[in-house]
Chain A
Amino acid sequence: MGTTEPRVVDFPLRRPGEPFPPPRYEDYRHHEGLVVSHLPNGNKVWLVTRHEDVRAVLTNKKISSNPDHKGFPNISDTMGVPRQEQIPGWFVGLDSPEHDRFRKALIPEFTVRRVRQMRPAIERTVEERIDAMLAAGDHADLVADFALPVPSLVISTLLGVPPVDRDFFESRTRTLVAIRASTDRQRDTATKELLRYINRLVAIKEKWPGDDLISRLLASGTLAANEMSGVLMLLLIAGHETTANNIALGVVTLLLNPEWVGDDRAVEETLRFHSVADLVSLRVAVEDVEVSGQLIKAGEGIIPLVAAANHDAEAFACPHAFDPARTERHHVAFGYGVHQCLGQNLVRVEMEIAYRKLFERIPGLRLAVPVEDLPFKHDGVLCGLHELPVRW
């Protein structure tokens, strides 16, 4: 057990102008044991920054994902994991065995094979967005015009949203994500409209089942009606901004490293390199537990920082270099353990198609502003770009 007092550090909210992942993570990693920090509400939380430790935390049975436990480190009222009482079916906040019922019901929808079958639909969506950008002129905001609509449209296809409703669906999901361009009230309204829409869609699929995720989930009979809408909202929220941010940051990285354009290995490397979900996995110890020689007491919060783990030189050679040819593939951009991202195979295909088509169809693609002027998101859970002005 470490004898030195744990070091207390600032809470890892991103700061304007600071590179990501922040150089501070490097110091934390070199510190014996773990570093401790405080949430904006003052609660103590342990930060985990080494790759090995992040994996250990995410597979430890004494460490829980359930926000009902005292000490769960939700970052604020709107940044964190909702309780089942707030959104039944939000299974990322459940532990085994409750979690497994949801996960098992959903994995058939996300197998490698099933995702491959979605390829033509994803290609069509991507092509249509590129057509629309090209038709509109010689410049675009790649976030609003491409990175956000593509994952939203893909999820709407997955859920079986009829084509006539996709514009509605896309515009409401976009309002939810636009931290800058929409007000709290607009976001609240959009959430309600989406929930109402999802409930109506479920009712329609109950009467007229189709070949889609909702119909199959209904037929399996494993979820209660109120859990169903929570699960569908989770898929939507978990899969939208994450993917959009990764696509946008990935395009910037490819524009800066054009030798990798057209190489599919870039997909995995942009996931590791950007690690957009750095503050997504939140945990709490339910029994006293030791991590890296550090005693964590029951009821203390733990945040495994995946961006820190993915830039750990013990796990990745030259971690700060963007190198799609690297042989290490054990990044934790999708987390680890039983909650490891359910949508990961879908994301991989989506990103591969998005990068490939974008650079094929718009070979003259370039940034319309200097890279230092790109508006990075430092005010949310995920990292990404508010806007990505491009020209061709």
Chain B
Amino acid sequence: MRISVDPDRCVGAGQCVLSAPEVFDQDADGIVTVVNARPADDEAVRHAGELCPSGSITLHED
């Protein structure tokens, strides 16, 4: 699976970091960063994509 994020949309709610800390992090400004852009397809990562309130996270199936 491949992850992309749109930092301009991120509202820093941190839902992604709580769900999948090995894939997402927040920078010093509280904005999303990707730690691992090619994680294994796992439930925690899908949850992060689903929970993000601002639609900043896209999961690609390639």
Using a CB–CB distance below 8 Å, which chain A residues touch chain B? 58-59, 103-104, 107-113, 329-330, 334-338, 340-342, 344-345, 348
B contact residues, total (Cβ < 8 Å): 19
Interface residues of B in 31-62 (CB under 8 A from A): 31, 47, 50-51, 53-55
- On whether the beta carbons of A103 and B51 are closer than 8 Å, the reply is no
Main secondary structure of the interface of A (DSSP, over half): helix
Interface string of B14-28 (1 = CB under 8 A from A): 100111010000101
- On whether the beta carbons of A107 and B54 are closer than 8 Å, the reply is no
Q: How far is the CA of A378 from the CA of B13 in the complex (A)?
A: 30
On whether A108 and B29 interact (CB within 8 A), knowing A103-B12, A338-B11, A344-B13, the answer reads: yes
Q: Please give the distance in Å from A258's CB to the nearest CB on chain B.
A: 27
Q: Please give the distance in Å from B13's CB to the nearest CB on chain A.
A: 5
Using a CB–CB distance below 8 Å, which chain B residues touch chain A? 11-14, 17-19, 21, 26, 28-31, 47, 50-51, 53-55
Q: How far is the CA of A33 from the CA of B57 in the complex (A)?
A: 30
- On whether the beta carbons of A338 and B54 are closer than 8 Å, the reply is yes
- On whether the beta carbons of B17 and A112 are closer than 8 Å, the reply is yes
Closest A residue to B52 using CB positions:
A340
- On whether the beta carbons of B12 and A330 are closer than 8 Å, the reply is no
Nearest 6 CB-CB pairings of A with B: A107-B12, A107-B30, A340-B53, A108-B30, A111-B26, A112-B17
Q: Please give the distance in Å from B60's CB to the nearest CB on chain A.
A: 21
Q: How far is the CA of A342 from the CA of B31 in the complex (A)?
A: 13
- On whether the beta carbons of B14 and A110 are closer than 8 Å, the reply is yes
